[in-house]
Amino acid sequence: MILNERETRHEHVLDVVKQMMTAARTAPKGKGYDIIEIAMITDGDINRVSSEMININKETGLKFLLRDAENIMEAEAILIIGTKQKVHALNCGHCGFATCAEKPTSVPCAINIVDVGIAIGSACATAADNRLDTRVMFSAGLAAQRLGYLANCTCVMAIPVSASSKNPFFDRKRKETTQENFHSEIY
C-alpha cells in the first residue's frame, strides 16, 4: 500500500485541530471555573466568517480586516475559543476597577480574558508539536462571535490552521505600495 501525504493531509489537520480543542479545554482556568467554549470551523463556515469580516470592515473602515478575510481562506480549519463572562469576586483590579462590585457589566473580567489566552497558548503549542501552521486572529474571532458560533461568549479569538509548505498566515502577500497610499498606511 502507498499512502500519499497529499491525500491524508486534510484529515490529519482536522485530527490535530481536535487535539488543539482538547488542549484548550484542559488548560488551567481561573479559580477552576470552566467557562471556555471551543469549536472548529470548516468548509462553508470559513467563507461565512470571511464575509462577516468584510462586513465589519465596511462598518469600521479597518483595512486589515480585508487582508485577514482573504487570508483565512487559506485555512483548512479555524479553531475558535471564547469565554462567557463570570466575575470571579477576587477584587484584583486587573479590569481597571478596584472591586468586582464597581466593575460595569459591559467591562469583561480580566481573569476570563486570561483564561482565553492560556487556552490559546495550549492550542497553539499542540499545533506546533504537530507541525501545523497557525496564527491567532482577533479579527476572525470577532466575526465568529458576531455570527453566534459560540453562544453567550463575549470574547472570541480564532486560530486558522494550515498544513502547507509556507505558513500562509505569516508569509502574507504584501500590497503594492504606491506613493499615494504610502502616506495613508504610515499615518
pLDDT in tens, 66-93: 999 999 999 999 999 999 988 888 999 9
Q: Taking a C-beta distance cutoff of 8 angstroms, is the pair 88, 45 a contact?
A: no
pLDDT tens column, 92-148: 999 999 999 999 988 989 999 999 999 999 999 999 999 999 999 999 999 999 999
CA gyration radius, the chain: 18
Backbone angles phi, psi at 54, to 5 degrees: -65, -40
Residue 144 identity: A
Residue 156 identity: V
Structural domains in the chain, sorted by start: 27-166 (3.40.109.10)
**Is 151's pLDDT higher than 90?**
yes
Strand ranges (E), 32-168: 36-41, 77-83, 133-134, 155-162
pTM for this entry: 0.87
pLDDT tens column, 44-67: 999 999 999 999 999 999 999 999
Closest C-alpha to 137, from 61, 41, 60: 41
